[in-house]
Amino acid sequence: MSTSPQQSEVSASQDLPRKRGVPEGLWIRCDGCHDTVFRKMVEKNLGVCPQAGCGHHFYVPAKSRIQQLLDEGSFEEWFAEILPLDPLSFHDKKPYRDRLRDEQQKSGLSEACLVGRGYLRGRPVVLGVTDSSFIMGSMGSVVGEKLTRAIEAATRLQLPLLIVSGSGGGARMHEGIYSLMQMGKVCAALGRFHEKKGLYISVLTNPTMGGVAASFASLGDVILAEPKALIGFAGPRVVQATCKIELPKGFQTSEFLLEHGFIDRIVARADLRSEIARIIDYCG
């Protein structure tokens, strides 16, 4: 089987890094090689820096991720009608309600994750993607509920489950204890899925931290990570402040996790589709 890149499914319109701190325009600066690269080239290259020897993986929005992974036009979104509320009437510097509205406008997403079903190289899968740009990709009630329903559907339909995680925020503070409990809820659903011998492939992208790392993201039967993603429980600054010694080189990167035995493989974005398909063929 050919493992050529899936250009056909990746429309040039994928709105690549329109994330805070990433300048918009024709050129963008690469955090990997620190060169200025032509945005179009990056977009064409699945959001990976095209410079020779760099290969830095930029953030990609959830919708682009789905286009990259699934067969063209095959994604059927589920549970889009589940929308966030503000159960604590939470205020920090800004009311949570306003924050939600602003994030929705900025990202074009109603919440930090999309779930649904589709085909990956012709193989049916249930897919969940968290988007690290929506309140740091954090998990509140909506993310927890959508993922749980997706996992329950995968259990019922006996389909492989694929979750692509990107969350710098972990459990969402603004929904307090409800967010923490989503970790228990999603993991319980994964427990049932596991018991029914469902195949769960977890893909970790930059960053996957806190309550997301400490729940569904770490529970894949097979765990893949994109190169040089930040993955861990506590944030590096917190670890630094606690230990008061210099952090080891490459601490909490994909490579660090591979070395310590917590992920199966590091997979470049261009190879994700073919690798996932192979895993499904072995286990499905």
Residues in region 154-193 near another protein by CB under 8 A: 156-157, 171-173, 175-185, 187-192
- Residue 24 to residue 73: CA distance in whole angstroms: 27
Tracing tokens 């939600």 back to the chain, one arrives at 100
Tell me how many residues contact another protein (CB under 8 A): 73
CB of 212 to another protein, least distance (A): 9
Please confirm whether the linkage preceding 207 is cis (ω < 30° from 0). yes
| Residue 124 binds another protein (CB under 8 A) | no
Tell which one of 255, 262, 264, 278 touches another protein (CB under 8 A).
262
Tell which one of 205, 252, 254, 274 touches another protein (CB under 8 A).
252
In contact, 65 and 164? CB cutoff 8 Å: yes
Instruction: Specify the residue, 62 or 173, whose C-beta has the smaller distance to another protein.
Output: 173
* Tokens describing residue 87: 């159960």
CB of 210 to another protein, least distance (A): 7
CB of 65 to another protein, least distance (A): 20
| Residue 56 binds another protein (CB under 8 A) | no
In contact, 151 and 190? CB cutoff 8 Å: yes
* Tokens describing residue 128: 């969940």
Tell which one of 34, 91, 101, 196 touches another protein (CB under 8 A).
91
Instruction: Specify the residue, 59 or 256, whose C-beta has the smaller distance to another protein.
Output: 256
CB of 95 to another protein, least distance (A): 10
Report which DSSP code applies to 248. Answer: P
| Residue 27 binds another protein (CB under 8 A) | no
Instruction: Specify the residue, 21 or 53, whose C-beta has the smaller distance to another protein.
Output: 21
- Residue 96 to residue 102: CA distance in whole angstroms: 10
Relative to beta strand 123-130, strand 161-167 is parallel
Which amino acid is present at 2?
S
- Residue 161 to residue 136: CA distance in whole angstroms: 23
Residues between 200 and 239 with contacts to another protein, criterion CB under 8 A: 210-211, 213-219, 231-235, 238-239
Instruction: Specify the residue, 4 or 93, whose C-beta has the smaller distance to another protein.
Output: 93
| Residue 28 binds another protein (CB under 8 A) | no
- Residue 156 to residue 189: CA distance in whole angstroms: 12
CB of 120 to another protein, least distance (A): 18
In contact, 162 and 283? CB cutoff 8 Å: no
Tell which one of 23, 34, 83, 250 touches another protein (CB under 8 A).
83
CB of 43 to another protein, least distance (A): 30
Instruction: With residue 128 as reference, give the H or E element that holds it.
Output: strand 123-130
CB of 213 to another protein, least distance (A): 4
Instruction: Specify the residue, 38 or 251, whose C-beta has the smaller distance to another protein.
Output: 251
Q: Which CA distances in Å does 145 have to 81, 156, 167, 231?
A: 11, 16, 16, 23
